[in-house]
Structure 1
Amino acid sequence: MTFPRVLLVLTFLLGATASAMADGHRSLGWGILTNNDALGDNQDRWRSASFVVSHLRGSDWSGQRPVRFGELIEYRIRAEMITPVNVAAPRASDRRYVGALSFGAHTHFRKGATQMSLGLDLVFVGPQTKLDQLQDELHGIFGPSPVNVDGFQVDNAVYPTVTFEAGREYALGGSGNLRPFVEMQAGAETLARIGADVTFGGVGQGALLLRDSTTGQFYTGIRGDRPGGLSLMLGGDVAYVADSRYLDTPGIAKKDMRARFRAGLHQQFKHGALFYGATYLSEEYETQPEGQFVGSLSARFEF
């Protein structure tokens, strides 16, 4: 990573933190989501597992995004394991193992009725993350095959990654809501995405929903009016992928187009909430034989 890129990252992250402290920002909420193909097709391959924690800080929350850029900051930590088909004895022709660990800051704001977010993450990849060792320990506990990817990982690197999203909500009548969106990302993976999400039920009313980068599933960052009951969430998108450092391996050719189709159920209780979602991810490289299903889970309980 060159010095100008390091400087850009540090300027953004330090600037966001300084702004939050200067304006007397306080904690507004936490969001957590885990993805695992054991919750989907249970094949332990490709987009195998990920975990994200988000902490939202701002001066106040009025039920919608602020107008001012930088007034609401999300601090995000994320870990992901992307694997070959066989993690115990990977084939030379398969994709390399990716252990990705990222730290970043994202600001959420609006311009008129358009909801926007802009964020910058430092994405660390390679053996330096030790995520292969963590996954091997988890496999030892839960019983799948061991993870043996020594010499079969992407090289150590740090990729500054910028993500921008813009979307707009449209009422469908009753409790229905449609939100088309566009997204652009540059860094560890460089792509442009367009899609839409449909929600039936009270989830998200007066809340800030955050989008998971692997599945596109929403998870709650700031709680809203908390209406009780069950909500159905549906969505899909397609992306043009210009570059992927995760697939930068001789003999592996990325697919230019990717698709995601997702569904989820969110149950709001009086003192907590539970979410489960399933996402179909299409093939990411030319020799990948098929897509996969990944499950997502989020739970929150108050005592």
Structure 2
Amino acid sequence: MRLIAMICAGLMMASPSAAQERETLGYGRIFTNDFFGDNEDRWRSGSYAYSIVRGPEWDGVRPSTPGAIIEYRLRSEIIAPSTVNGPGSSDRAYVGAVSAGVHTHFARGAANISAGVDLVATGPQTGILDMQDWFHDIISAPNPSAFVEDNQVENAVHPTVLTELSYRLPIGTATTLRPFVEAQYGVEDFVRVGADVLIGETLQNDMWLRDSASGQLYSGIESGRPGTGFVLGADYASVGDSAYFPASFGTVAQEERFRARAGVHWRFGDGISYFYGLTYLSEEYVGQDGGQIVGSLKLNFNF
């Protein structure tokens, strides 16, 4: 909790002059769903993240001052058992999660740093399971069973600190290697190491955000340059405590996770862009009968 207070205080101490000059620089959004990957509806079933990025300006380089660029982030996620009704519905507890947070993005020498705090709400209070039940009625999909509803992760609010340290290593004029280290403490505790490769001149001057579920990079601020770009990445995480695996349910979380991903960005000018990516997620709990592939989608139409 002391670390959370320190980061909150740092974000609030951004200079008044910078706050007065701050404007909206971009919007980050990404939708990730199991259906877009392996055409299933299970485990990391679906998530949506939306961010508003504000700051004094963007010239393709992060400022050196923490708090000069602020990201306001909203996110929702469904983590489900293998099936929401019938056999397989007891392999892990159902998770409905909604979060709101504030993050800052800055640079120290060659290092890019992101740090922030999210309040992550879980349980029936989020209304996520009710929303999925309503949507499944519309599309005639199986509805969550009484067992799934009664055994979902309980109501709670988890203050969560997330930090990332990355390095931008250019390889020629159109390719960048981006190794990173990420750490989180709160709703899930983990330390993650990995790297991404950005291919294409159109991707070289964006400010990148990372999707929590898939690890896919998506733009918080786009350079606006038209073209096509490709993203490849992989990472490994060592996982500690997780509110998504309550001891009362009995499912035991894997202590290690692996992700591998690829995606393509299409840019057609300022405000019109598309992204589609696929991510392999390794098993998250002991006894899971395999990994899964999720798809991520981003559509921008700013007129």
Q: State TM-score, norm by structure 2.
A: 0.92
In structure 1, C-alpha distance between the alignment counterparts of 2:184 and 2:89, rounded to whole Å = 30
Q: Is the 8 A contact 2:34 2:45 kept in 1?
A: yes
Matched, 1:239 2:237: yes
Matched, 1:269 2:250: no
Once the two structures are aligned, what percentage of the paired residues are identical? 45
In structure 2, C-alpha distance between the alignment counterparts of 1:39 and 1:59, rounded to whole Å = 37
Q: Is the 8 A contact 1:52 1:77 kept in 2?
A: yes
Matched, 1:45 2:29: no
> Tell me, what secondary structure is at the counterpart of 1:144?
coil
Shift of 1:90: 6.3
Shift of 1:248: 1.8
Q: Is the 8 A contact 1:9 1:120 kept in 2?
A: no
> Tell me, what secondary structure is at the counterpart of 1:247?
coil
In structure 2, C-alpha distance between the alignment counterparts of 1:19 and 1:141, rounded to whole Å = 49
Equivalent residue, structure 1, for 2:102? 105
In structure 1, C-alpha distance between the alignment counterparts of 2:296 and 2:254, rounded to whole Å = 24
Q: Which amino acid aligns with 2:128?
A: L
In structure 1, C-alpha distance between the alignment counterparts of 2:18 and 2:118, rounded to whole Å = 20
Q: How many residues align?
A: 299
CA RMSD of aligned residues (A): 2.3
Q: Which amino acid aligns with 2:282?
A: S
> Tell me, what secondary structure is at the counterpart of 2:244?
helix
Q: Which amino acid aligns with 1:152?
A: N
When structure 1 is superposed on structure 2, of 19-28 and 99-108 the one drifting more is 19-28
Equivalent residue, structure 1, for 2:166? 167
Q: Which amino acid aligns with 1:249?
A: A
Equivalent residue, structure 1, for 2:201? 202
Q: Which amino acid aligns with 1:253?
A: V
Against the structure 1 CA distance between its residues 169 and 290, is the aligned structure 2 distance closer, same or farther, given a 3 Å change threshold?
same
Shift of 1:23: 3.5
Residues 234-282 of structure 1: per-residue CA shift (max 9 Å, x gap): 0000000011110123421111100000000101113511100000000
Q: State TM-score, norm by structure 1.
A: 0.92
Unmatched 5+ residue regions in structure 2?
none
1:115 corresponds to which of 112, 128, 149: 112
In structure 1, C-alpha distance between the alignment counterparts of 2:199 and 2:277, rounded to whole Å = 14
Against the structure 1 CA distance between its residues 13 and 174, is the aligned structure 2 distance closer, same or farther, given a 3 Å change threshold?
closer
Residues 151-176 of structure 1: per-residue CA shift (max 9 Å, x gap): 02011111111011001111122411
Unmatched 5+ residue regions in structure 1?
none
2:22 corresponds to which of 9, 21, 25: 25
Against the structure 1 CA distance between its residues 155 and 17, is the aligned structure 2 distance closer, same or farther, given a 3 Å change threshold?
farther
Q: Is the 8 A contact 1:104 1:120 kept in 2?
A: yes
In structure 1, C-alpha distance between the alignment counterparts of 2:264 and 2:161, rounded to whole Å = 30
Q: Is the 8 A contact 2:79 2:96 kept in 1?
A: yes
